[in-house]
Amino acid sequence: MKTTRLAFSLLFISLLTLSAQVLGGEQILIPQPPKLAATSYLLEDANSGKMLAEKNPDERLAPASLTKIMTVYVVFRELANGNLQLSDQVIVSKNAWKTPGSRMFIEVNKQVALEDLLKGIIIASGNDASVAVAEHVAGDEATFAQMMNQQAKRLGMKDTHYSNSTGLPAEEHYTTARDLAILTRALIKEFPEYYGWHSIQEFTYNKIKQHNRNKLLWRNKAVDGVKTGHTEEAGYCLVASAKRDDMRLISVVMGTRSESARAGETQALINYGFRFFETHRLYGANEKLTEARVWKGDTTELPLGLQEDLYVTIPRRQFKNLNATLDIDQLIIAPVEQAQPLGKLTITLSDEEIVQKPLTALQSVPEGNLFRRLYDRALLLLE
């Protein structure tokens, strides 16, 4: 492989001094993450996927109303695919109306706009609204749960299984902190036009005003979602997301002892992430990072880059210590397919590797004509 150094093209300004791990012989001091009074938790950067804190992230637990993150995700996908409209009128069944637990207070045989039901799920955590939506989308809740499980599998949520749309206790109904983070990241990325509903602080339906149970929406301006949950089995749970400048964090806290505890423990995680780390977008998807020589093709130069945006999350004030190295395949012979791996990009921080991504062809290169192939063959023999 041919190895070259790649200079970063963007200027970043860090504000805070850091401090407790050793990278490449240089000590970077950062305190350990807070230890929370929770059964399971994690904190990660939404863009880079960097895990900043964790405890039992793969333990299967009852999700309570955190289930509804998937409920609305399934509906959002149906909206995106043109199978539903926000203006659809949903007829409320007796089965939906009598669902126990938190409620939106819909009434039997009344028609309710799908948009109102979705807000009733997201803001008021309405179990009745969740069942009404499930029945409207899939005919019954059991079939809707199959759709939820299909999406969980597609997203790579390996330790999740849904039995209903509400999160009420049921057999074979479980998830993990890691899987909830995967789902939340997908929700935010795929549906920004709907994600804003998760930051609404109150919702009124049928002349009944209800407040969002996520107390951090009042306490922390950076927090803009996502969902609370509580049952006796699950304890008090909260999936939260917060955005400050260009950095977005996702936290999952499961199994705390009270409403105030889940909010306080989540706040501690978010504060830790913003205080001691920063996230940078280094390169964009399909951005040309270099060119490579192509032999026996209809062109001799091939742009190389990445298939996805590349973000890194690093300790604050360490951007100056990042380095990028390109390793390009020595011999690239046409035909070349777009997105074909032809090397690697390695990012190091103080000489320690923190991420490596395939360097890929940004366009296809078909074989050249007979003259080009014979000419390049002769040149290769001389090398």
User: Over the stretch 186-225, which tens digit does the pLDDT of each residue have?
Assistant: 999 999 999 999 999 999 999 999 999 999 999 999 999 9
Residue 157 exposure: Cα atoms within 13 Å on the Cβ side: 27
**Residue the block writes with tokens 């995700």:** 73
Annotated catalytic residue, options 68, 119, 215, 227: 68
Integer Cα distance of 95 and 239 in angstroms: 28
pLDDT tier, 282 (very low <50, low <70, confident <90, very high otherwise): very high
What are 277's strand-pairing partners? 315
Check residue 380 and give its pLDDT: 86
Please state the rounded mean pLDDT for residues 29-47: 96
Find the DSSP H helices in 88-202: 94-97, 114-122, 127-138, 141-155, 177-190, 192-195
* Catalytic residue (choose from 40, 48, 65, 350): 65
One-letter identity of residue 375: Y
What's the rounded mean pLDDT across residues 136-149? 98
Q: Is residue 173's pLDDT more than 70? A: yes
Whether the pLDDT of residue 9 is over 60: the answer is no
Question: 38-256: which CATH architecture?
Answer: 3-Layer(aba) Sandwich (3.40)
Share of the chain above pLDDT 90, in %: 89
Q: List the end-to-end C-alpha distance of the chain, in Å, as a whole number.
A: 16
Does residue 26 surpass a pLDDT of 60? Answer: no
For 2-15+282-382, CATH gives 2.60.410.10
pLDDT value, residue 383: 73
pLDDT computed for residue 181 by the predictor: 98
Averaged pLDDT, 297-302: 95
Q: What is the mean pLDDT of residues 12-29?
A: 42
Q: What one-character DSSP code corresponds to residue 34?
A: P
Q: Which of 86-90, 161-165, 369-373 has the lowest mean pLDDT?
A: 369-373
Q: Determine the average pLDDT of the residues in 140-155.
A: 98
The mean pLDDT value of the chain amounts to: 93
Please tell me the predicted confidence (pLDDT) of residue 10: 37
Question: Secondary structure of 221-259 in the HEC alphabet?
Answer: CCEEEEEEEEECCCEEEEEEEEEECCEEEEEEEEEECCH
Q: What is the mean pLDDT of residues 145-171?
A: 98
Q: Which two tokens stand for residue 349?
A: 């921080």
Residue percentage of the chain with pLDDT more than 70: 94
Are 2-15+282-382 and 38-256 the same fold in CATH? no
Domain boundaries along the sequence of the chain: 2-15+282-382, 38-256
125 flagged as catalytic: yes
The catalytic residue among 125, 130, 241, 350 is: 125
The DSSP line for 307-350 is: SS-EEEEEETT-GGGEEEEEEE-S--BS-B-TT-EEEEEEEEET
Which tens digits make up the pLDDT trace of 261-274? 999 999 999 999 99
Q: Model confidence over 225-250: pLDDT tens digits?
A: 999 999 999 999 999 999 999 999 99
Cβ neighbours, 10 Å, residue 175: 26
Instruction: Name the nearest CA neighbour of 133 among 172, 187, 90.
Output: 90
DSSP strand pairing (51-55 vs 40-45): antiparallel
Q: Express each pLDDT in 78-137 by its tens digit.
A: 999 999 999 999 999 999 999 999 999 999 999 999 999 999 999 999 999 999 999 999
Active site residue 102: no
Q: For position 8, what pLDDT does the model report?
A: 55
Q: Which of 12-16, 84-88, 101-105, 301-305 has the lowest mean pLDDT?
A: 12-16
